[in-house]
Amino acid sequence: MAKKEKVGIVISNKMNKTIVVNVESRYSHPIYSKIMVKTKKYLAHDENEQCQLGDKVLIQECRPLSRKKRWTLATIISKSSLVS
């Protein structure tokens, strides 16, 4: 079975080897036909601590690494233009 992958933006990197990724999903409302946006936060493992705030990343499903961490960083799609 293929591993799930999601694309999102890093909103926190303050933990050791862990990033918080915000993933948006867009869907049409069944009654009003308006495009709705649902966001969800995922904790992902960043082994080399290479992500910065605002980076667009690809995360991949993995075995449970801690109580809430079930994703790992696959690749950094684009770096943030923010200088910190």
Could you read off the pLDDT of 5-24 as tens digits, one per residue? 999 999 999 999 999 999 99
* Best CA proximity match to 69, nearest among 15, 8, 7: 15
- Cα–Cα distance, 40 to 22 (Å, whole number): 6
The domain 5-78 belongs to what CATH superfamily? Nucleic acid-binding proteins (2.40.50.140)
* Best CA proximity match to 62, nearest among 53, 71, 50, 51: 71
Q: State how far Cα 47 lies from the chain centre.
A: 15
Please say if the pLDDT value at position 82 is more than 90. no
64: DSSP letter? -
pLDDT range class, residue 81, cuts 50, 70, 90: confident
pLDDT tens, 27-75? 999 999 999 999 999 999 999 999 999 999 999 999 999 999 999 999 9
Q: Domain ranges in the chain?
A: 5-78
Other beta carbons within 10 angstroms of residue 19's beta carbon come to 27
